């Protein structure tokens, strides 16, 4: 078992000790469907848990390898001396555990991009102006004239969210996908998500205008079953929500391939869901990211006759799912 510790300095100001968000994002990237506490935070001073406590807790939880990343910009005394001393102490106490210490954030081209973004933000441009200019840059760098008009806003927003132009060619649309999504939004249908990160990113303001809400049932679910029948929390959450709510018009899955496969399975047997035979199928946005079942689940979705939007690669994720839904919401508002 492997545990990762993101080690920060810590501050007397409680609100400054917020690297939990970074740990959460890293955990989602590394282990998309995992509910264990694989990535933890620790602080050198002023906040809890401290690094010594975090190292000991990881070992007590059964970790055979503990990776410590110093969440610092440069290699000062804390990075080169204080934290390594704590790791050496832990190594002496737990000789059977492998401890790995990484480089700090340091100099990286991504850091320069972040600084540039902050400079531009401070130059007086409003968020709306920044977004407008971003979309102008996208149009300057990629030709979308061969894309059906109704799909262009979705592709542009996904590229804007990911800075990845590959999505122009990898996004796959059912012929009725955009129409189904727009109709669901305007009919006041709810949007079901597989994880909280997707739920949090969808514009509630735009959706509530039409009477719908965003639903995520992962918090109230848990892995169930035995042997090969064990279901992930996201899979269980999707199943329970679909069986209980007959007002779901869009299902947005950005994280869990198992949730997407469960959605396809349930919609195939629509009779077990609380829908009338004449009810339209929900639009399924299935863009889970990863190496295990992600591509396979999206390929299975692309075979379906009900409306869907997916992509034909390992790429995807919560950010992509959110971008697609928000594009549909903005299109509904504009029209």
Residue of 31, 69, 108, 160 with catalytic role:
160
> Under a CB-based contact definition with an 8 Å cutoff, are residues 57 and 20 in contact?
no
pTM value is: 0.63
pLDDT at 31: 82
How many Å apart are CA 106 and CA 76, to the nearest integer?
A: 11
HEC secondary structure over the chain:
CEEEEEEECCCCCHHHCCCHHHHHHHHHHHCCCCCCCCEEEEECCCCCCEHHHHHHHHHHCCCCEEEEEECCCCCCHHHHHHHHHHHHHHHHHCCCCEEEECCCCCCCHHHHHHHHHHHHHCCCCCHHHHHHHHHHHHHHHCCCCCCCHHHHHHHHHHHHHHCCCCHHHHEEECCCHHHHHHHHHHCCCEEEECCHHHHHHCCHHHHHCCCCCEEECHHHCCCECCHHHCECHHHHHHHHHHHHCCCEEEEEECCCHHHHHHHHHHHHCHHHCCCCCCCCCCEEEECCCCCCCHHHHHHHHCCCCCCEEEECCCCCCHHHHHHHHHHHHHHHHHC
For the chain, residues with pLDDT lower than 50 are 223, 225-227
Furthest-apart CA atoms within the chain: distance in Å: 68
268 is catalytic: no
List the one residue out of 319, 315, 310, 269 whose CA is nearest residue 291.
315
Residue identified by tokens 């929390």 is 233
pLDDT score recorded for residue 226: 45
CA–CA gap between residue 41 and residue 29 (Å, rounded): 16
Give tens-digit pLDDT for 257-315: 999 999 998 888 755 677 666 678 899 999 999 888 899 999 999 999 999 999 999 99
The predicted-structure confidence for 217-247, as pLDDT tens digits, reads as follows 876 555 454 445 567 888 888 888 888 888 9
Q: Is the peptide bond before 165 cis (omega within 30 degrees of 0)?
A: no
Domains of the chain: 2-101 (3.40.50.1400), 166-334 (3.40.50.10230)
What was the pLDDT predicted at 159?
94
């Amino acid at each position: 078992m492997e545990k990762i510790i993101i080690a920060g300095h810590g501050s007397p100001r409680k609100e400054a000790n917020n690297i939990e968000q970074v740990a959460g994002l890293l955990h989602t990237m590394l282990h998309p469907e995992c509910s264990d506490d694989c990535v933890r935070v620790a602080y050198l001073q002023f906040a809890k848990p401290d690094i010594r406590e975090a190292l000991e807790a990881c070992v007590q939880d059964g970790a055979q390898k503990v990776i410590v990343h110093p969440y610092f910009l440069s290699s000062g005394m804390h990075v080169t001396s204080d934290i390594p001393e704590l790791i050496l102490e832990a190594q002496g106490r737990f000789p059977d555990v492998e401890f790995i210490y990484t480089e700090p954030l340091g100099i990286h081209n991504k850091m320069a991009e972040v600084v540039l973004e902050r400079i531009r933000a401070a130059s007086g441009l409003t968020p709306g102006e920044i977004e407008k200019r971003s979309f102008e840059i996208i149009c300057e760098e990629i030709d979308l004239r061969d894309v059906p008009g109704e799909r262009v806003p979705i592709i542009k927003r996904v590229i804007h969210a990911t800075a990845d132009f590959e999505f122009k060619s990898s996004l796959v649309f059912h012929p009725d996908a955009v129409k189904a999504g727009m109709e669901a939004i305007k009919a006041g249908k709810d949007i079901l998500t597989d994880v909280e990160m997707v739920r949090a990113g969808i514009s509630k303001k735009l959706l509530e205008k039409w009477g719908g809400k965003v639903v995520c049932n992962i918090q109230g679910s848990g892995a169930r079953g035995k042997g090969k029948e064990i279901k992930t929390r996201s899979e269980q959450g999707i199943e329970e929500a679909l069986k209980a709510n007959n007002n779901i018009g869009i299902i947005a899955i950005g994280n869990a391939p198992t949730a997407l496969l469960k959605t396809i399975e349930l919609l195939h047997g629509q009779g077990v869901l609380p829908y009338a035979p004449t009810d339209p199928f929900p639009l399924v946005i299935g863009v889970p990211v990863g190496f295990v079942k992600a591509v396979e689940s999206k390929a299975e979705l692309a075979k379906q006759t009900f409306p869907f939007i997916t992509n034909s690669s390992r790429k995807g994720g919560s950010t992509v799912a959110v971008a697609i839904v928000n594009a549909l919401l903005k299109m509904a508002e504009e029209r």
